[in-house]
Amino acid sequence: MMQAQVAQGQSPLLAVRDVSVVFGGIVALNGVSFDMHKGAILGLIGPNGAGKTTLFNCLSRLYQPSTGDILMEGQSILTRPPHKIAEIGIGRTFQNVALFPNLTVLDNVRVGTHARTNSDIVSDSLRLGWVRRGEAELNKKVHEIIDYLDLGDVAHTVVSGLPFGTQKRVELARALAAEPKILLLDEPAGGLNHEEVHVLGDLIRRIRDDRHMTILLVEHHMGLVMSIADHVVALNFGRKLAEGTPAQVQSDPDVIKAYLGSKDQ
Amino acid sequence: MSSVEETANEAPAVEAVPKKAMTLGMGASLVMLALLIIGPMFVKNFIVFQLTMLLIYALAVLALNILTGGSGQFSLGQSAFYAVGAYTSAILMEHFGVNYAVTLPIAGLICFGFGYLFGQPALRLSGIYLALATFALAVAMPQLLKLGVFEHWTGGVQGLVVTKPDAPFGLPISQDRWLYYFTLTVAIGIYIASVNLLKSRSGRAFMAIRDNEIAASAMGVDVALYKTLAFGVSAGITGVAGGLGAIAVQFVAPDAYTITLAISLFLGMVVGGVGWLPGSIVGSAFIIFVPNIAEGISKGLSGAVFGVLLFLVIFLVPHGARQVAMVAQHMLGKLGKG
């Protein structure tokens, strides 16, 4: 709360400006705008098909908006190819978990550091001194993250055999390894039980505070969003329905109507 | 609509191997190395020649393993890269008098470039479509080598005869034995470099692409770059193998490098275990020796016998030599405990 309010005066870390996405006649997003301030947890809510994941995929450059712009620290990200997004500090997790199933937990997290490290195939093949030193440094960092997320016991296990909840944590670890400024979490509570959701909420807040990250949380689980978000944006049918503090959005008549349906219907 | 969902649901093209299981342990490696060094001292020259070919094809299978097992891309065009390597070495030795050892890195570099360039259009293809595109390359190569324009260099349909090198420094060993140890040195060097590569940041990028392209890209992996690099590396190693092959066989001709060779290499990879680098030598042994064994069983039906043997391998050990090695390791572990 505090950090978010302090940041209000500064220019936003990430600005979504009038973004529209059209898929062959279907308007998935229609002129959506909002700002993300440094150190805030922004919750993005909306019923199924509201355009949350579409917006998410615009931020990670999987979709190209038809109109509008997305600015990271004042610079448009829309000219960058998808693999150049991690290096400017945007990291993400995926809705259905998109890990590298045949690699171990360690290697999955190591791939996460790709955007923060350098190498070439010749030096790698010869295992030159600077490659070995780089790997040692990388391993230290990767182990720190693995311990931070309590994955030490399964570090050498291939991820495809791990329980879903653990896989989600591996994905989070992989995203953290890239040291993002903004962490995009696509339905992190999906498939988790009540207890796990509670733990997850604490974890997200801890990551924000310990690692100085700004978090965009796309979530169906209303309880989670309302308890940890500083700021909430509600979407419906591709449009922004409401924006404000969790309390404001929760009591917004349009939002209530979108979720529960109106009396007139 | 969503490319994310498509990739998530797509069945994996290659049954991939976890990276940890890609190499041999220290003990097994040393035993293997000792066998490869000592073995050829006690056999006839013809067998030494066959063992040299075993190493050469093992390199070519290893190259395919990096491409398919590592980065998840298929290729039925390895014979084309092998041919380019063989001709590069042959032409450099016979027309320019270049030392045979110097021709190998040149063959490797030329094939790397060739593979890298071929990887560019191949980026738009995956799975069986990529296999078909590389198949076209393999089919075209022998005809390209026969073209009249290049005849002065390639010798056209006749091919080129390559002089077999003598052992240097007056070493008292036969040409065949010398070539074997030379090939072994090259093969070990390339094997170590390949293991290093697959365990490095670049190798992780290959495997990340193999497992999930969208996620790899979100982590900052330049998918197009690493896919073409994998093609380049694979072609480069195949080129070195081709160069060694030309020196060992003492002859290059267009019809030695047909699609049959590419399919053999593919077979070798599957029999050795896709993605398991030490399996390359087992796969190579299969494609060199099993046809001979089949012929020994029945001259008239050697092809059919080979087919039956192949069928048995696929049926009994679908994961190839890797599976056999794992079972053996498991049993040894049990013995050790009991």
Cross-chain residue pair B214–A98, CB shorter than 8 Å? yes
Strand partners, A265: none
List pLDDT tens digits, range B30-49: 888 888 888 887 888 888 99
Pick the closest to residue A111 from A152, A159, A60 (CA basis).
Answer: A159
Q: Which of B204, B221, B229 sits opposite A121 (nearest CB)?
A: B229
Which amino acid belongs to residue B167?
A
Q: What is the DSSP letter of A104?
A: B
| Closest chain A residue to the Cα of B230, Cα to Cα | A121
Cross-chain residue pair B208–A94, CB shorter than 8 Å? no
Residue A162 contacts B where some CB pair is shorter than 8 Å: no
- Where is average pLDDT lowest: A2-6, B180-184, B312-316? A2-6
Distance from B103 to chain A by nearest Cα, in Å?
19
Cross-chain residue pair B219–A85, CB shorter than 8 Å? no
Cross-chain residue pair B233–A83, CB shorter than 8 Å? no
Pick the closest to residue B273 from B202, B227, B216, B328 (CA basis).
Answer: B328
Q: Which two tokens stand for residue B188?
A: 């070990």
**Within 10 Å of residue A24's Cβ, how many Cβ atoms?**
5
Collapse the DSSP code of A5 into the 3-class scheme (helix H, G, I; strand E, B; otherwise coil) and give the result: helix
Average pLDDT over residues A13-26: 89
pLDDT classification of B12: cutoffs 50, 70, 90: very low
Q: Residue A71: exposed, middle, or buried by beta-carbon count in 10 A (0-12, 13-18, 19+)?
A: middle
Residues of chain B contacting residue A59, judged by C-beta atoms under 8 Å apart: none
DSSP B271-298: HH-TT-TTHHHHHHHHHHHHHHHHHHH-
List pLDDT tens digits, range B244-275: 999 999 899 988 899 999 999 999 999 988 88
Task: Using the structure block, give the residue that is written with the tokens 């590569």.
Answer: B197
Average pLDDT over residues A21-46: 89
pLDDT(A9) > 70: no
- Residues 130-159 on A with a CB inside 8 Å of B are 131, 134-135, 156, 158
pLDDT(B1) > 70: no
Distance from B220 to chain A by nearest Cα, in Å?
4
Q: pTM of the entire structure?
A: 0.87
Task: Using the structure block, give the residue that is written with the tokens 């279907």.
Answer: A26
List pLDDT tens digits, range A205-251: 999 999 889 999 998 888 888 899 999 999 888 888 889 998 888 88
pLDDT(A2) > 60: no
| Closest chain B residue to the Cα of A22, Cα to Cα | B1
Pick the closest to residue A89 from A14, A217, A181, A12 (CA basis).
Answer: A181
Residue A83 contacts B where some CB pair is shorter than 8 Å: yes
Cross-chain residue pair A86–B212, CB shorter than 8 Å? no
Average pLDDT over residues B85-92: 94
Strand partners, A43: A217, A232
* Element holding A185 (H helix, E strand): strand A182-186
List pLDDT tens digits, range A35-63: 999 999 999 988 888 888 889 889 988 88
Angle at A199 between CA A195 and CA A204, to 5 degrees: 145
Cross-chain residue pair B19–A104, CB shorter than 8 Å? yes
Share of chain B above pLDDT 90, in %: 45
Cross-chain residue pair B218–A117, CB shorter than 8 Å? no
The pLDDT, as a whole number, for residue B319 is 83
pLDDT(A156) > 50: yes
Q: Which two tokens stand for residue B329?
A: 């390791």
Distance from B175 to chain A by nearest Cα, in Å?
30
List pLDDT tens digits, range B124-150: 887 788 888 899 999 999 888 888 787
Greater confidence (B16 vs B230) lies with B230
Q: Determine which of B22, B62, B67, B204 to mutate to test the interface with A (most A C-beta atoms within 10 Å).
A: B204
Strand partners, A70: A16
First vs last C-alpha separation in chain A: 37
Residues of chain A contacting residue B196, judged by C-beta atoms under 8 Å apart: 124-127
Average pLDDT over residues A21-41: 89
Pick the closest to residue A38 from A186, A187, A212 (CA basis).
Answer: A212
Strand partners, A242: A234
Average pLDDT over residues A111-125: 89
**Within 10 Å of residue A186's Cβ, how many Cβ atoms?**
24
Residue A98 contacts B where some CB pair is shorter than 8 Å: yes
pLDDT classification of B9: cutoffs 50, 70, 90: very low
Residue A202 contacts B where some CB pair is shorter than 8 Å: no
Residue A121 contacts B where some CB pair is shorter than 8 Å: yes
Residues of chain A contacting residue B1, judged by C-beta atoms under 8 Å apart: 23
Pick the closest to residue A201 from A183, A223, A216, A182 (CA basis).
Answer: A223
Which amino acid belongs to residue B48?
V
* Element holding A75 (H helix, E strand): strand A75-76
The pLDDT, as a whole number, for residue B23 is 67
Question: Can you say whether the dihedral through the CA atoms of B323, B135, B19, B244 is positive or negative?
Answer: positive
Residues 6+ positions from A9 with CB-CB distance below 8 Å:
none
Helix, strand counts (H, E) of chain A: 10, 10
pLDDT(B177) > 60: yes
Question: Can you say whether the dihedral through the CA atoms of A226, A228, A231, A233 is positive or negative?
Answer: negative
Cross-chain residue pair A84–B196, CB shorter than 8 Å? no
